[in-house]
Amino acid sequence: MSKNKDTVVSLSKHKIACKDCSLFQICLPVGINGEELERLEQIIQRRRPVKRGDHLYHGGEPFRSIYAVRSGSVKSYVPTKNGNEQVTGFHLPGELLGLDAINNKMHSCSAKALETTSVCEIPYDEFELLSNELPVLHRQLIMLMSKEIFEEETHTLLLGKKSAEERLAAYLFSISSRYHRRGFSASEFYLSMSRNDIGNYLGLAVETVSRMFTRFQEEGLLSVERKHIVIHDLERLKMMTGAVPGKGGEQFFCLRSS
């Protein structure tokens, strides 16, 4: 039990059962019955919200837990030799972090909150033990990891060949879809990450990102005011990503929505 008032307030405010969590069907889409869920909940720790700039873990630290974002957002990055960092991903509500560390038993990147963020922490050892009795948990994790691999692939697709315009369009479309899935508006949202982070993630100079936002706005595609984005033509944005597969491919549109 924490001692200061702040924490107590936060805990009481955030102690929500999984089944009442708005992310329930994102975290646990497959059939988990009541008793199984209860046992899972017993090992899940709901951490006090972390402040902007705080770390969930650092690269090189031993791996102990998987995290699920409840609210807020987190960025993953790797520090590089020249004192810079390379951003490897952003994590929005309902998304998991730390999956890349299971195999190494060590975190390969650092995770930093981009804003006040609350997460669920799932201690991996306990999860493993429980999974021996409840194979459905393993199955669920495998599904989520598959989705993660699929999405990384999408990101490869994004960075692979495209122009700055296509990259930023694809990025915005991805963010939009992810917020939408989480129950928020697809056409209006705040970008919690800086232009710097976006450019870094997309392999573009900050200035190029700025210019692209300006161009998009001039073209009437969207309105942008710092971090506040309103997309006026989502369909055109999607087209601009250039990621629509060819013949017979409409059924597996690959610039994913979730």
Partner DNA sequence: AGACAATATTGATATTTGTCACTTTCGTTA
Partner DNA sequence: TAACGAAAGTGACAAATATCAATATTGTCT
Q: Please, what is the angle between helix 135-161 and helix 124-133, to 10°?
A: 130
Contact flag: residue 229 with DNA (CB under 7 A): no
Contacts with DNA, 118-157, as mask; x by CB under 7 A: ----------------------------------------
According to DSSP, the β-strands at 74-79 and 85-91 are: antiparallel
Contact flag: residue 32 with DNA (CB under 7 A): no
Contact flag: residue 84 with DNA (CB under 7 A): no
43, 45, 46, 52 alpha-carbon torsion, rounded to 10°:
-140
150-169 residues near a second copy, rule: CB under 8 A: 150, 152-153, 155-157, 159-162
Say which amino acid occupies 79.
P
Looking at the Cβ atoms of 154 and 208, the one nearer to DNA is: 208
Tell me the window of 4-12, 41-49, 85-93, 178-186 that interacts with a second copy (CB under 8 A). Answer: 85-93
Tokens representing residue 76 in the block: 């993953």
Question: Listing from the earlier edge strand, what are the strands of the sheet with 45-46?
Answer: 45-46, 118-123, 65-71, 96-97
Q: Choose from a second copy, DNA, none: what does 3 bind? Cβ within 5-8 Å by kind.
A: none
Q: Choose from a second copy, DNA, none: what does 172 bind? Cβ within 5-8 Å by kind.
A: none
Q: Choose from DNA, a second copy, none: what does 132 bind? Cβ within 5-8 Å by kind.
A: a second copy
Tell me the window of 75-83, 160-168, 182-190, 239-247 that interacts with DNA (CB under 7 A). Answer: 160-168
**Hey, how many other C-beta atoms are within 10 angstroms of the C-beta on 181?**
17
Say which amino acid occupies 27.
C
Tell me the window of 80-88, 144-152, 197-205, 241-249 that interacts with DNA (CB under 7 A). Answer: 197-205
Q: Choose from DNA, a second copy, none: what does 26 bind? Cβ within 5-8 Å by kind.
A: none
The residue from 213, 216, 222, 256 that contacts DNA (CB under 7 A) is 213
Tokens representing residue 256 in the block: 């994913």
Tokens 């990621």 locate to: 243
Residue 208 · residue 199 · CB < 8 Å: yes
**Hey, how many other C-beta atoms are within 10 angstroms of the C-beta on 60?**
11
3-state class (DSSP) for residue 16: coil
3-state class (DSSP) for residue 249: coil
Residues that bind a second copy (CB under 8 A): 59-60, 76, 78-83, 86-89, 99-104, 106-109, 128, 131-132, 135, 138-139, 141-150, 152-153, 155-157, 159-162, 200-203, 242-249, 251-252, 254
